[in-house]
Structure 1
């Protein structure tokens, strides 16, 4: 089982405003961009910081969303993306409409950093990182000036103590600065519980059946009390999420696949991997590892996925 990589600092870039980010997170889900987009952003930002002479290693990333506005048109039970027609073709004819989901976001990014030169008192480096980040795109979206007060947009760094109890105490003070907002964590335990419940009814029920069951609101009629109820009551804000990619083929040599974006990198055909996530207020998290997402690459098994170490609290009997 993969574990979150070691890190010494948290670099917080608060209150970023993203316009027109990609809202189609996978072939089966929409809404917040896939967490793979944020890991890709982290690696691209790390390359930019190294090119700028900054000694930073970014090992994981957390996302806290403060506001969102998905560009959809709602008509009772049916929602549709607000689509725009592309410019005319070269011959002057009207181009076809390509489905393009978009979403506006206000979010904070929390990077797990390993760096011997980074200190909590140095506020110039967080500002440099923010300036580099403002020149990039997040899931295809453009970063624009936030409407939040300037004092709430100042990036900052936190040096974490080695003692786990002291780390938790420090994080409990810091997490309040991320309110109001919601952080996305992974809940595979809910998927296993639903799968076990479905197998009691249908022994042939698959994990896909459990994933689809958790992705919707399942209504049932209680004849005893003569009322309808659904299985989302008391379960929190549960959402289906893509968490990476699974291989469909072997690794192809660089330049052997026609129309590949990069002819210097090995190529592999993949499909999306799915899990279940939950939106939680940051004040419900006990340590930074519960917030962070990191990469887990198992090339021999054909698995390239994002992981999160959130563990639900154990309630006493």
Structure 2
């Protein structure tokens, strides 16, 4: 991927009723593929006068309000009652998960306007924000800013300095603006590490076993040899919760091919008869929510498309790596 030259920041977007069902096996925050799709749709909607090319996208979540029942371990989505059908019967209810969000979106961009005057960059950022205000984000509606918050929610187009020292200073100032909040990054390395650990005890363990292990709360027991008041030896059992290395979540990261690519129009009931067709299934990995102040560089935050057509992989990638264990 090319170097990152400029960042377009759309701060504190209020999104209502976004899709909370991110894949057939996960729910919660919308899939990153929805935000990458937003980036591509936004680029197509830009007027010719706005010479901006979008390359990557990152997200910081400031507020998350899932529309679910509260209380107890079992939760259910708040569903809408559909109108009756043409025969007067009650229409079937299709379960749809919804969530209200407050997001900051960060795009890696390039173009002539990125090197223009500050006034030109501010005008371009505002024009992009106006377009996004009329779009859907993960199926949700973009709502107007709350009263009194518009001053700190101004979009910005920021060219990054060529000097590494000045670029680091720029990014540090941006990170402070994104607090409080949490940024979603990819942790393929944790999945590979956990798989290696499990295979030491269970050689037949698979990546799915490691993914499920990282996706749940694990209670483990430890047997401790001790003695009672009379000096007689006996064993005590202590149960503890194994703490994961940070706020780890299961996430979908794209799609894997299940079939060869079919010629356009050869598959019945496909949406587009002019585009090649391929059956796919969801790909999964683990992500981590981290505080923005832990990001060292823009590449840590940003996601991009990293397809391998020969292997049948249509997936997203993120270049975050850390040498420290985040508590």
> Common fold, TM-score beyond 0.5?
yes
Matching residue of 2:269: 259
- Structure 2 distance, partners of 1:71, 1:295, is 30
What do residues 184-205 of structure 1 show as CA deviations (whole Å, max 9, x unaligned)?
Answer: 0001111111111111111000
Instruction: Note the residue ranges of structure 1 that are not aligned, 5 or more in a row.
Output: none
Q: Distance in 2 between matches of 1:146 and 1:123?
A: 18
1:286 aligns with 2:296: yes
Q: Is the 8 A contact 1:243 1:275 kept in 2?
A: yes
Pick one of 84, 103, 124 that aligns with 1:107. 103
1:77-96 pair list within 5 angstroms? 77-96=73-92
2:202 equivalent to 1:202: yes
**1:98-137 equivalences in 2 (<5 Å):** 98-118=94-114, 119=116, 121=118, 122-137=121-136
**Cα distance in structure 2, aligned partners of 1:20 and 1:217:** 28
Distance 1:186 1:11 in 2: 21
CA RMSD of aligned residues (A): 1.5
TM-fit CA distance, 1:52: 4.6
Q: Distance in 1 between matches of 2:70 and 2:211?
A: 25
Aligned to 1:300: 310
Q: Matched residues in 1 for 2:151 and 2:293: separation?
A: 21
Aligned to 1:23: 20
- Which residue is 2:233 aligned to? none
Output the TM-score relative to the length of structure 1.
Answer: 0.94
Q: Distance in 1 between matches of 2:238 and 2:85?
A: 56
Q: Spell out the pairing of 1:134-213 with structure 2 (5 A cutoff).
A: 134-147=133-146, 149-213=149-213
Q: Secondary structure at the match of 2:112?
A: coil
- Between the aligned partners of 1:272 and 1:160, the Cα distance in structure 2 is 35
Question: What is the distance in 2 between the residues matched to 1:167 and 1:313?
Answer: 22
1:140-174 Cα deviation digits (max 9, x unpaired): 10111132611121101111122334322210111
Q: 2:19, 2:182 → 1: CA distance?
A: 19
Aligned to 1:215: 215
SS in 2 for 1:194: helix
Contact 1:221–1:228 (8 Å) recurs in 2: yes
- The answer to whether the 8 A contact 2:113-2:124 is kept is no
Give 1:258 shift.
1.6
| Distance in 2 of aligned mates of 1:239 and 1:222 | 26
Deviation of residue 245 (structure 1)?
A: 0.4
What CA distance in whole angstroms lies between the structure 1 residues aligned with 2:271 and 2:3?
32
- Structure 2: any 5+ residue segments left out of the alignment? 225-235
Secondary structure at the counterpart of residue 199 of structure 1: helix
Give the secondary structure class of the aligned counterpart of 1:275: strand
Judged with a 3 Å threshold, the aligned counterparts in structure 2 of structure 1 residues 313 and 120 are, in CA distance, closer, same or farther, namely farther
Aligned to 1:12: 9
Aligned 8 A contact 1:5 1:60 in 2: no
Distance 2:94 2:154 in 1: 38
Alpha carbons of structure 1 residues 16 and 120: separation in structure 2 relative to 1, 3 Å? farther
Q: Secondary structure at the match of 2:252?
A: strand
Q: 1:251 to 1:120 in 2, by over 3 A?
A: farther
| Larger Rg over CA atoms | 2
Q: What is the CA-CA distance between 1:88 and the residue it aligns to?
A: 1.1
> Is the 1:71–1:101 contact (alpha carbons within 8 Å) kept by the matching residues of 2?
yes
- Mapped to 2, the partners of 1:20 and 1:59 lie a distance apart of 27
SS across alignment from 1:142:
strand
Give the 4+ runs in structure 1 shifted more than 6 A: none
Q: How far apart are 1:226 and its partner, in Å?
A: 4.8
